[in-house]
Amino acid sequence: MNHPRITLKTVAACAMLAGTATAFAHVTLPRGGVTVGSDYDAAFRVGHACEGAKATTGLAVRLPKGFILSDAQARKGWKLDVQKNAGDGEVRWTADSPQTALPANERAEFVLRGKVPGTPGPLWFKVLQTCDVGRIDWAEVPASGSSTAGLKTPAARLDVVAQGVATVDVRDAWVRQTVPGQSGTGAFMKLTAPTGTRLVGVSTPAAGVAEVHEMKMEGDTMKMRELAGGLELPAGQTVELKPGGNHVMMMDLKQALAKGSTVPMTLRFEDAKGQKTSLDLKLPVGAPEGADAAAPAAHKH
């Protein structure tokens, strides 16, 4: 997305929104980012074995510059080797035998822990996956930016964000278009928080009021009301705001929202420790291909 005024928060949000290509990578980190200078548990998820292979027999993670390793999690039936060389450390897991190797049809996580750098930006972890037949080096890094679109074997990406910027991953976000004179509409998206948090507020210059609402059947009537306590985002779970369910309700619209335009929106979060963060987004107007754009059933406040 190209916008005349880009803030640090907007850059972080766009990077997360543009990260859909990582869904095609098969050694990945969990969605969402991490705050500068924080400790981070990097759980590398292996989605399948190499082409034509029956099992994954080894995984070697090359640590990016600036990431300080503290420890790595051993796996039963696997040998763990750790090299903490400055700037080029490596963590290697190797199956002891074919019986302890990871079958091609199973998924597993290989976990290490460390501290991320004190400056924001993407960290790229290059991972060599070895199988009983062949190997895949997940090591491609984009020439610029953080999008892995078009890369066949992308490295695992971790977004390191500034203090005060939410680490929540936002995908498939959109706003339903309106016609002149319409006073309200909905915004929808998928949210994934790496650690437990709550969506506690929404604001946009496109509407006088923006709130997180839930829709529930009471008897034979669908009723909509604000989630006064915010929306719970359990750690690592994707929570979808969608038509007919939980959603962002935009009221007192300032003007009609035409398909193809964008709507600025700020999401505000609060974690269990009371830490408040926010994320600035630009949401496209009009449902993405494959989205359920049907209007929700009639409701009452």
23 pLDDT more than 70: no
Confidence of residue 66 (pLDDT cuts 50, 70, 90): very high
| Total residue length of the chain | 301
Provide the pLDDT for residue 131: 97
Confidence of residue 70 (pLDDT cuts 50, 70, 90): very high
**Domains by residue range for the chain, with CATH:** 21-161 (2.60.40.2230), 169-300 (2.60.40.1890)
User: CB of 41 within 8 A of CB of 194?
Assistant: no
Provide the pLDDT for residue 81: 97
Q: Give mean pLDDT, residues 38-42.
A: 93
268 pLDDT more than 50: yes
Rounded distance, CA 155 to CA 174, Å?
A: 28
Provide the pLDDT for residue 267: 97
Percent of the chain scored above 90 by pLDDT?
A: 71
**Nearest residue to 21 via CA among 126, 138, 146:** 146
Q: Give mean pLDDT, residues 205-209.
A: 97
155 pLDDT more than 90: yes
Q: Which of 16-25, 171-180, 269-278 has the highest mean pLDDT?
A: 171-180
pTM of the model: 0.74
Confidence of residue 287 (pLDDT cuts 50, 70, 90): confident
pLDDT single digits (tens) 217-261: 667 776 788 998 899 999 889 999 999 899 999 999 999 999 999
Confidence of residue 9 (pLDDT cuts 50, 70, 90): very low
143 pLDDT more than 50: yes
Provide the pLDDT for residue 87: 62
17 pLDDT more than 80: no
30 pLDDT more than 70: yes
Rounded distance, CA 266 to CA 199, Å?
A: 11
HSE of 115 in the Cβ direction (CA atoms, 13 Å)?
7
pLDDT single digits (tens) 71-115: 999 999 999 999 876 567 999 999 999 999 999 999 999 999 999
- Indicate the residue type of 99: Q
Q: What is the mean pLDDT of the chain?
A: 86
Q: Give mean pLDDT, residues 152-158.
A: 94
121 pLDDT more than 80: yes
Provide the pLDDT for residue 286: 92
Q: Give mean pLDDT, residues 112-128.
A: 95
Provide the pLDDT for residue 196: 86
